[in-house]
Copies of this chain bind each other. A is one copy, B any other.
């Protein structure tokens, strides 16, 4: 293997594929990045067996070849080099000489035969989505993914597409996030898949700054996202995802329009004391024209008053402050609508106009 490439191109590519490098595995190859040189191109590949990332950059190749280099070390080395061009040459003992200006590194690589195969793109189904919409949909749902493995399928985000309508749903037993969007080109066959939440959190980072449409291809067990020269893949989760239509209340008896920013700031202030208590609890008292938020702990108490447009019955209800804050933080609207029923029924947060999102937050039962 002998080639040269731009240091900047290589550093960008390393940053991209590092998203696929295992942070937990003790297997050396999974902490490495596979360098494949062919046909005036350098392809970088990484995988942690659940997700995989590969990308390509132009290279001036003299000899094709492959090698695995430790991801953290090669990224640090390339970041610190001062030349614009980097020269690579490997020998038969898997040693790689890396030269740039007056620096010369020799790194010990690993033989490539132990590197897992990158899943093949089968293209059973496919569609295109704008990177901005895809990123926004992940942003809206990633906080509500279950962290516990008790229902493994709920560690994923469900992606549903029918014709032009696309939805992402996540829930963790305390809250549910549902985000709706519209594709430019609809699909012929409706489908739904469940993508691991951790995979979409990494994809979320890769989507920043991407401008071309993302091509999504998938089979029953594997999904691929094509972002320009980069391919991101994840295995899919199998199992029965809860039917969200059945659990989101359709009716409310207390219906409130409120400034999102005021509510978020009040919740954040109340959370300062809620966190000092152990249950992270804030109490909401919905009255005509005003919402009072209180929280109490050994160190003190807080009392917040926010103006609301109220229709319906007065209600006292309590929530875990974190779940309300997580939902409000990813909403961009100025005003939101909150629907409630009883102190034991969930809060449903929706936009005042349209239906691009629905957040549902379960209350905490407290004895007065």
Contacts and interface: CB of A to CB of B under 8 A. Distances in A.
State which size class the interface on A falls in. Answer: 20 to 34
A309 B27 CA distance: 47
Nearest to A76: B272
A108 B298 contact: yes
Contacts of A103: 266, 269, 302-304
A306 interface: yes
A21 to B, nearest CB: 16
A102 interface: yes
A76 B302 CA distance: 13
Interface stretch (A8-16, A77-85, A116-124): A77-85
A104 B302 contact: yes
Residue among A103, A266, A273, A305 with max Cβ neighbours from chain B (10 Å): A103
A344 interface: no
Given A103-B266, A266-B103, A272 B303 contact: no
A73 B272 contact: yes
A181 B242 CA distance: 71
Nearest to A265: B82
Given A73-B300, A104-B303, 20 more contacts: A73-B276, A73-B299, A76-B272, A77-B269, A77-B272, A80-B265, A80-B268, A80-B269, A81-B269, A102-B305, A103-B266, A103-B269, A103-B303, A104-B302, A104-B304, A105-B269, A105-B303, A106-B301, A107-B299, A108-B299
- Interchain residue pairs A-B with the least CB separation, the first 8: A107-B300, A102-B305, A104-B303, A80-B269, A105-B302, A106-B301, A106-B300, A76-B272
